[in-house]
Amino acid sequence: ETGVTQTPRHLVMGMTNKKSLKCEQHLGHNAMYWYKQSAKKPLELMFVYNFKEQTENNSVPSRFSPECPNSSHLFLHLHTLQPEDSALYLCASSHETGSVEQYFGPGTRLTVT
Chain contacts with other proteins (rule: CB under 8 A): 2, 4, 6, 31, 40-43, 45, 48, 56, 88, 90, 94, 97-107, 109
The 10 Å CB-count burial string (b at 16+, else e) for 92-105 is bbbeebeeeebbbb
Task: Evaluate whether 31 touches 47 at the Cβ level (below 8 Å).
Answer: no
- One-letter amino acid at 26 equals H
Considering the complex, state which of residue 75 and residue 103 has its C-beta at the smaller distance from other proteins: 103
Q: How far is the CB of 86 from other proteins (least distance, A)?
A: 13
Q: How far is the CB of 35 from other proteins (least distance, A)?
A: 8
Q: How far is the CB of 25 from other proteins (least distance, A)?
A: 12
